[in-house]
Amino acid sequence: MDSIMDSTKGIAVVTGAAGGMGSFIARRLHRDGHRVLLTDIALDAAQRIAEDLSPDGSTARASVLDVAHRQNFVDALAHVQSLWGTPTIVVNNAALTQAADLMTIDEPDFTRVLNTNVNSIFFGCQVFGAAMADEGYGRIVNMASLAGQNGGTATGAHYATSKGAILTVTKIFAKELAAKGVTVNAIAPGPHDLPVVKATVPPEKLDAVIAGIPVGKLGSPDFIGDMVGLLTAANAFFVTGACWDVNGGLFVR
């Protein structure tokens, strides 16, 4: 399968692709020549991006995917297989970001954030990873976060907890799928120049957040797209189970 992938482009599925980081990732993968299924609960927004990328729908489509439930991944796999075939690239990007006071987070909010953010990675790796393994080739990238490494700053503790779990899930599936030609890696971004950051951090506090970043500025989501492109390349077979940090020096290890 590796020799085939060296000469042909693949099939990518990106979750949470209707906006923010997911849209940058989807655009980059499409620019690399892959067919891209943009999935999100916000179908209209995902559809607009898909139509911008491929007006005739031949190389980009949009589909609804609520990542909190396993069956939805099973349905999404069947959908992309009916369109183009088994995906060769999956980017588990969808997440629920929520700021909250640590000592007053209630059970419904905690469960909702954990179910969305952890289920999305676990079942994305499980369902799509199994299909890729059957084909002998695949590239999975899980979007983690600096919050899962340093305990979070501007985001809630439930968000940080979920993002920490993603790092473990990545290692589990990397070990399980490595011998079957499927790599599984994580990217852990710090604060980036995205609407979600500006919506989460109050305007009066954003300058202080930026001042606390050693490089003195927010990250570029375009670069995250470039990193996904690198990790999903055919010759990236020797990188698996890794977490790539992109945080402007906020967390150094």
User: Would you name the residues annotated as active-site residues?
Assistant: 159
What's the token pair of residue 57?
Answer: 């729908």
> If DSSP states are collapsed to H, E and C, what string results for 28-85?
HHHHCCCEEEEEECCHHHHHHHHHHHCCCCCCEEEEECCCCCHHHHHHHHHHHHHHCC
The residue assigned the tokens 């790092």 is 167
Residue type, 149: Q
What's the token pair of residue 174?
Answer: 């990397």
| Cα distance between residue 9 and residue 30, in whole Å | 10
CB 14 within 8 A of CB 29: yes
Q: 20-31 vs 43-53: helix axis angle to the nearest 10?
A: 30
